[in-house]
Structure 1
């Protein structure tokens, strides 16, 4: 095991925990710890496929309990806001729109289509076609896309 070779202690951390999202839905996360050379990475995946995913990283000598607390804080912040809203036209047809002209997402592998990733928004997977339909209302607008590692903070 790499931890033993590097002389890193691995304290017990919870394997799962629950956080409420902005709508009061309880989200169950599983924690994975990885040691990659000079970095310890804690990743939390929501228990269901293609859902929320968050990560924090630190140095091998960092307090891993504090790192775990940082992960929970990051998840709590991430779940405190939703970016999409659904509604219905008077005709009864439903639509989805971007709240406050701003959204954050995570790209994830699509088992059904290896050509393009899924876009996870508000813990739900969307195809690029679906994202395109959601963004149609913004035709003519400028768009800024910023790619960040999962462990980095996304402002």
Structure 2
């Protein structure tokens, strides 16, 4: 994982904690989340905003497998976003990812508690299982995240289910077990409860 340099403070920062932020002159700068939040607090006239930083945590999923989550907070004007994500090598389209939004003046530790509860609920359920014929839907509902397939000019997404990347064609093959069934597709903002 190649670290990048924050334009403002010069800190070497992992790519998951960098924001490509527009400036008033129309140029873009790479900022660490702390510098981005300072700029946003100044722009939104928020006095006394402190950039929260949290130590990574490990949580177990329904199979007892451990997942390490890193956190990033971003001030978005009158709201704050707290994100938790797994690092899956250099591929940002893998691993679990969670987000919660609240008012900018919210207590960051209360938000962290809410986010960890959301994460634990999601990790307690498996939507796919593998048998001799390959990946299968564990029940009749699948929750996941839509991601870019990584192919330049690609027109098909991939999905991330149970923290694992599943190519679109493979997902279609999984769904063939339900040929003739009806389905409901509901798209939710990452901060909503899935």
TM-score scaled by structure 2?
Answer: 0.72
List alignment gaps of at least 5 residues for structure 1.
Answer: 89-93
Q: In the TM superposition, what is the alpha-carbon distance from 1:12 to its structure 2 partner?
A: 3.9
Cα deviation 1:80-119 (Å, max 9, x = unaligned): 000111111xxxxx32211121110111222235322210
User: Are positions 1:120 and 2:120 aligned together?
Assistant: no
Contact 1:43 1:56 (C-alpha < 8 Å) held by counterparts: yes
User: Which residue matches 1:52?
Assistant: 96
User: Which residue matches 1:41?
Assistant: 81
The within-5 A match list for 1:132-151 is 132-151=172-191
Contact 1:8 1:61 (C-alpha < 8 Å) held by counterparts: no
In structure 2, distance between residues paired with 1:96 and 1:80: 19
The within-5 A match list for 1:1-155 is 1-4=39-42, 5-10=45-50, 12-48=52-88, 49=91, 50-88=94-132, 94-112=133-151, 114-154=154-194
In structure 1, distance between residues paired with 2:127 and 2:112: 26
Q: In the TM superposition, what is the alpha-carbon distance from 1:64 to its structure 2 partner?
A: 1.1
Equivalenced residue count is: 149
Cα deviation 1:103-152 (Å, max 9, x = unaligned): 10111222235322210001100111000000001111000011000001
Q: CA RMSD in A?
A: 1.5
Q: Which runs of 4+ in 1 moved over 3 A?
A: none
In structure 2, distance between residues paired with 1:21 and 1:115: 32
Change (3 A) 1:2 1:8: farther
In structure 2, distance between residues paired with 1:73 and 1:42: 13
Relative contact order (alpha carbons < 8 A, sep ≥ 6): 1 or 2 greater?
1
